[in-house]
């Protein structure tokens, strides 16, 4: 069979591991690997190329994706989805693997209702906001990038007796903020899933300040839109000289951790195994309770990811 892989939407560390394994494993199994460059835009424009080991040599340790990615506006139009499907047919592609997030899966779901695709998705986003899977490729590396930044900010915050508000990515999902706040011991965490209770936080901080606390670290999810307001509140209510750091796109890049490389390999193998045994699939590879599985894309895109209640409890946000 001829199988193709592409990235779509925001990139995430570990994509190159998945791409490399995709090519190597296809060849090992006697199948033909193809690479689609530039995401959905490249699919529309027929940037599809048969791959060899050479195309994926020396890429394991690199963040980003050597086949690149895109957020395609054209793909919202039927005529371009049709063109994309025709390109797959023209190149004789029997199965397609898409490394993407929620938006990309929605796009593929739409396309596969219109055309007979054999498609499988690999959840790939640092946001970890895809329903049906506990883990999305790239999350571990992003968490480590944030941890490294928070550890460094702690050093300067504690030296100057300041408050720091650090904004992390995640779109509407507070996963990165919640896990980073827990593992870095931040005093404040704001996530879109829970309304922040400033009077409760103030009471706790005033007590701690009276008993020697000299600095404060607040981790704020971008989806709250409250970074500036929390900084102002720390200045005005608690009298801290406050600095804001928006970590931004550094969270998306960087050398993938060992975990993300291993997960990239495993996701790719499961995706290929599944495509080889199906003629028409519309599923996503998911990871739950330490095992890989498959979930219908309809279920993935029609449900909303929920934060693990255990993590919420660890944050004590509801006090």
**Residues known to be catalytic:** 127
**What string marks each residue from 165 to 204 as x (binds ligand F6P by CB under 6 A) or -?**
----xxx---------------------------------
Q: Which of residues 229-268 bind ligand F6P (CB under 6 A)?
A: 252
Q: From the CB of 11, what's the least distance to ligand F6P, in Å?
A: 8
Q: Which listed range, 31-39, 85-93, 122-130, 208-216, lies at the site for ligand F6P (CB under 6 A)?
A: 122-130
Cβ proximity to ligand F6P: between 113 and 249 the closer is 249
H or E, element range at 176: helix 175-184
Binding mask 271-290 for ligand F6P (x = CB under 6 A): --------------------
Taking CB under 6 A as the rule, does residue 101 contact ligand F6P?
A: yes
Stretch that binds ligand F6P, among 91-99, 104-112, 123-131, 199-207 (CB under 6 A): 123-131
Q: Contacting ligand F6P (CB under 6 A), which of 38, 41, 127, 260? A: 127
Please tell me what DSSP assigns to residue 248.
Answer: G
**Contacting residues for 130 by C-beta, under 8 A, at least 6 apart:** 101, 102, 105, 123, 136, 284, 300, 305
Question: Are 112 and 282 contacting, i.e. CB atoms less than 8 angstroms apart?
Answer: yes
- Taking the complex as a whole, the smallest distance from the CB of residue 143 to ligand F6P amounts, in Å, to 13
Cα(272)–Cα(96) distance, integer angstroms: 9
Q: Helices 198-210 and 227-238, interaxial angle, to 10°?
A: 40
Contact 34, 81 (CB under 8 A): no
Q: Which residues pair with 190 in a beta bridge?
A: 220
Token look-up 């530039």 returns: 38
Instruction: Please name which of 312, 12, 13, 309 lies closest in space to residue 181, comparing C-alpha atoms.
Output: 312
Task: Count CB neighbours of 298 within 10 A.
Answer: 14
Q: From the list 4, 8, 10, 51, which residue makes contact with ligand F6P (rule: CB under 6 A)? A: 10
Within 10 angstroms of residue 7's Cβ, the number of other Cβ atoms is 32
Q: Minimal distance in Å, beta carbon 169 to ligand F6P?
A: 3
Give helix 139-160 / helix 175-184 axis angle, nearest 10°. Answer: 50
Confirm or reject binding of residue 125 to ligand F6P (CB under 6 A). yes
Using rule CB under 6 A, residue 124 touches ligand F6P: no
Instruction: Give the binding site for ligand F6P (CB under 6 A).
Output: 10, 101, 125-127, 169-171, 222, 252
């Amino acid at each position: 069979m001829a199988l193709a892989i592409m990235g779509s939407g925001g990139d995430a560390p570990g994509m190159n591991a998945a791409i490399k394994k995709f090519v190597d494993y296809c060849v090992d199994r006697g199948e033909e690997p193809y690479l689609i460059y530039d995401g959905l835009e490249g699919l529309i424009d027929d940037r599809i190329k048969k791959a060899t080991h050479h195309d994926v040599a020396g890429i394991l340790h690199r963040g980003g994706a050597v086949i690149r990615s895109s957020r395609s506006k054209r793909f919202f139009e039927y005529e371009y989805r049709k063109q994309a499907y025709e390109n797959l047919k023209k190149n004789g592609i029997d199965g397609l693997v898409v490394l993407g997030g929620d938006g990309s899966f929605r796009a593929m779901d739409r396309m596969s209702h219109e055309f007979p695709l054999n498609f499988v998705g690999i959840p790939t986003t640092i946001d970890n906001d895809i329903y049906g899977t506990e883990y999305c490729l790239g999350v571990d590396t992003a968490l480590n990038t944030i941890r490294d930044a928070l550890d460094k900010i702690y050093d300067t915050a504690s030296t100057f007796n300041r408050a720091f508000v650090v904004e992390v990515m995640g779109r509407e999902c507070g996963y990165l903020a919640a896990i980073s706040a827990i593992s870095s011991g931040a005093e404040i965490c704001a996530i879109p899933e829970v309304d922040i209770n400033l009077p409760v936080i103030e009471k706790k901080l005033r007590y701690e300040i009276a008993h020697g606390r000299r600095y404060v670290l607040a981790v704020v999810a971008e989806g709250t839109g409250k970074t500036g307001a929390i900084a102002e509140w720390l200045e005005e209510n608690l009298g801290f000289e406050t600095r804001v750091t928006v970590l931004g796109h550094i969270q998306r890049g960087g050398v993938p951790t060992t975990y993300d490389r291993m997960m990239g390999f495993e996701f790719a193998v499961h995706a290929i195994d599944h495509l080889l045994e199906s003629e028409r699939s519309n599923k996503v590879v998911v990871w739950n309770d330490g095992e890989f599985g498959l979930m219908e894309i309809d279920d993935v895109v029609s449900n909303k990811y929920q934060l693990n209640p255990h993590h919420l409890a660890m944050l004590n946000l509801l006090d």
